[in-house]
Chains A and B, each alone.
Chain A
Amino acid sequence: MELTDAGLVARVLVDDDQHAYGELVRRHQSSMRGLLRQLTRGDIALADDLAQDAFVRAYKNIRSFRGEAKFSTWLYRIAYNCFREDARKRKELVGINEEQWQAELDPQAVDPGLRHDLMHALSLLPLHERSAVLLCCQNGLSHDEAARVLDIPLGTVKTNVLRGREKLKKTLAAWAQ
């Protein structure tokens, strides 16, 4: 039987089991890297560096994980903090590397034109709206979970999601017909 995230975390806590942690990384690497790629506006190398940093940081601080939220929510929070710290260090957000980003995406999944417009519309959103939309609409977090990840009030998350959605809908109005 496959162990749950909670079971794997328990193994890491009790036995310092790095194989168990490896399984946690394998399970969550795709969503973490995906989120960071979009937060960094398609800078794949930077996003992967941040994701690695986040996973290492999570391992070192795993004793502070109290299980009040899902393990993935806790990871998202660490990843988001890594991203914010890096962005602060750089003083400016990274530029769009849309070509490389597009090349990595599955061509079968969405109409390439729509995907291009969607990614472009996302990248134009201010960071607070982009983060809220990505967490809630793309990664399926509840507003409450997103508030924990972003460390902002629940009401602000709801407003950011609403505004972000509105802007995306306006930009993509032609595709939604």
Chain B
Amino acid sequence: MNEEREQDWLDKKLQEAAPYIEDDGFTAHVLKQLPAPHVRLQFLRPLILVAASALASALTYVLSDGGRFIIVEMFKVTTIPTVWVVAFALASGMLVMAGGIVAAMSKASQIQP
């Protein structure tokens, strides 16, 4: 029996000598010993966002004399040249897209095992 075949034979016998071990409650026992998962108050996140937005809107309304500035500013917006509006929209879109890509890449690297 040559060297290589002898090695294969030994590896095969070693593998055969290690049969599958039935779980028999092992996993359940491990799971019982795990620390309790963190209580995640995920529902709080949208709640806080909505409350902060509502508060900011209310403050803006009160401090701006009933929102009169909106009419004034809207009038100003209508006088902006169309090219500027298009450029502004393009720039905003690209900024948001870049932010999204950065967030996705950061999340992917975080969860990539």
Residues of A within 8 A of B (CB): 5-6, 9-10, 13-14, 16, 18, 21-22, 25-26, 29-31, 33-34, 38, 48, 51-52, 55-56, 59-60, 65-67, 71, 104-106, 109-110, 114-115, 118-119, 122, 133-134, 137-140, 165, 168-169, 172, 175-177
Contacts and interface: CB of A to CB of B under 8 A. Distances in A.
B66 interface: no
A22 B29 CA distance: 10
B48 interface: no
Nearest to A172: B10
Interface stretch (B34-42, B51-59, B68-76): B34-42
B30 A25 contact: yes
Contacts of A60: 35
Given A5-B113, A6-B113, A71-B113, A176 B33 contact: no
Contact of B33 (A9, A13, A52, A168): A52
Contacts of B17: 105, 109-110, 115, 118-119, 138
Given A56-B33, A176-B1, A176-B9, A138 B23 contact: no
A18 B27 contact: no
Given A6-B113, A21-B34, A29-B21, A176 B6 contact: yes
B43 interface: no
Q: Which secondary structure dominates chain A's binding surface?
A: helix
Contacts of B38: 16
Contacts of B23: 26, 29-30
Interface in B1-48: 1, 6-7, 9-11, 13-23, 26-27, 29-31, 33-35, 37-38, 40
Contacts of A71: 113
B111 interface: yes
B112 interface: yes
A118 B113 CA distance: 37
18 contacts: A9-B113, A18-B37, A25-B30, A29-B21, A29-B26, A29-B27, A30-B22, A30-B23, A52-B30, A60-B35, A67-B113, A109-B16, A110-B17, A134-B14, A137-B11, A138-B15, A139-B18, A176-B1
